[in-house]
Amino acid sequence: MIPFLDLKSINAQYRDELIAATTRVIDSGWYIQGQEVSNFEQEFADYCGAKHCIGVANGLDALTLTLRAWKELGKLKDGDEVIVPANTYIASILAITENRLKPVLVEPDERTFNLCPNIAAKAITPNTKAILAIHLYGQMAPMPEIMALAEEHDLLVLEDAAQAHGASINSRKSGSWGHAAGFSFYPGKNLGALGDAGAVTTNDEVLAHTIRALGNYGSHKKYENLYQGVNSRLDEIQAAMLRVKLKYLTEEIQHRRTVAKYYLKGITNPAIQLPYCTDDDYHVWHLFVVKTLHRESLQALLHESGIQTLVHYPIPPHKQQAYHYWVEQALPVTEGIHNQVLSLPIGPTIPKDDVSSIIEVCNSWTA
């Protein structure tokens, strides 16, 4: 069986170092808001090229707390519109609605599945106050154009970088383009903890302080509460795991890029549409997503051949029960994507032979 993502083998590579880091935390007697977290925050901010990094409990909180902080700072208010591509993972949308802001779902670029600045421009109204740009599957949204559009209309830009640690455009990394960025370190992400974890990066010091306070009961100083905050902190033990894994991230991305290159060269079946990427982008291939009109048949053949595949994602947010009041909204491009995409195995440890077998099965398939 070729698993979709072999998390066990990924973490096994660093087993000794992870155990040493765990031991260090256990023996320190300090488990929340200590040296591991502050060191990781500094290291990850440096990695992204951002001034500040604030560790939080998960990626959803990173997005939710950033929008919440902008509300506390008077930059957003209830009902303000946030432009967001419709074909995202539900967390992006939840962060908006949790803050009583209004998601304005737009169709993505048909080639990259990312936010299209021209389509976004047409969705701007006097109530538009922010753009949530998602770097889907590891490829960055066109940030230079998005930032120019935002500047023109005085909009805030939040990057959802949960799938794109280390991705860049013109050597400038995700997490350093928008006014802030939310990262997830869910175990299956390109930089994964051994449990839930997340972070925000930003160059805005006031925003950084506000998010830090909001995630710590609204307190910036022990027993003094500025806001009605929540408890969303990065644990020392997860920060210690992430510090080990951050050291190998560049290497792991390199392996993903090599695998992607094999797929892009090797899969020649005309019934399978390969992912599109431009030369300016440093794509980190969180997912390798192909498109086909006959997904079930391709997935079935791969399954029979012992190859696990997944669909990211089968149901778009506007078709979810959670947002039943949007069900009338017609977003044909988004719906087409959700009906046709299939994610092939990719990861930092998948052997070349496995990739070759997957390519062979893909090329032998007739719809």
Ligand X SMILES: *Cc1c(COP(=O)(O)O)cnc(C)c1O
Question: Near ligand X by CB under 6 A, which window of 41-49, 52-60, 299-307, 344-352?
Answer: 52-60
The answer to the question of residue 342 lying near ligand X (CB under 6 A) is: no
Distance (Å, whole) CA 105 – CA 63: 17
> Does 60 help bind ligand X (rule: CB under 6 A)?
yes
Classified as helix, coil or strand, 29 is coil
* Shortest Å, Cβ 173 to ligand X: 17
CA distances from 92 to 51, 84, 87, 98 (A): 23, 8, 10, 10
245 catalytic per annotation: no
Q: Which of residues 87, 184, 190, 309 is near ligand X by CB under 6 A?
A: 184
- Taking CB under 6 A as the criterion, the residue among 59, 138, 142, 192 binding ligand X is 59
Question: Reduced to 3 states, what is the DSSP secondary structure of residue 34?
Answer: coil
- With CA atoms as reference, report the closest residue to 164 among 287, 312, 14, 316: 287
Q: Does 160 bind ligand X (CB under 6 A)?
A: yes
| Catalytic-role residue among 71, 173, 189, 245 | 189
Structure tokens at 328: 């009338």
3-class secondary structure, 172: strand
Please give the residue whose beta carbon sits closest to ligand X in the complex.
59
Smallest distance from ligand X to CB 110, Å: 19
Per CB under 6 A, does 114 bind ligand X? no
Q: Which amino acid is at 265?
A: K
**Is the Cβ of residue 162 or residue 180 nearer to ligand X in the bound state?**
162
Instruction: Specify burial of residue 15 (Cβ count, 10 A radius: 0-12, 13-18, 19+).
Output: exposed
* List 25, 134, 211, 355, residue binding ligand X (CB under 6 A): 134
**What is the residue whose two structure tokens read 């992430």?**
242
* Nearest one of 306, 314, 318 to 343, comparing CA atoms: 314
CA distances from 291 to 147, 259, 294 (A): 29, 18, 9
Site string for ligand X, 74-113 (x = CB under 6 A): --------------xx-xx---------------------
Angle at 247 between CA 113 and CA 265, to 5 degrees: 40
Q: Does 202 bind ligand X (CB under 6 A)?
A: no
The helix (run of H) or strand (run of E) holding residue 158 is: strand 156-160
Q: Return the number of the residue (58 or 139) whose C-beta is nearest ligand X.
A: 58
Interface stretch with ligand X, choices 53-61, 67-75, 224-232, 267-275 (CB under 6 A): 53-61
Catalytic positions: 189
Q: What residue ranges bind ligand X (CB under 6 A)?
A: 58-60, 88-89, 91-92, 134, 160, 162-163, 184, 186, 196, 198
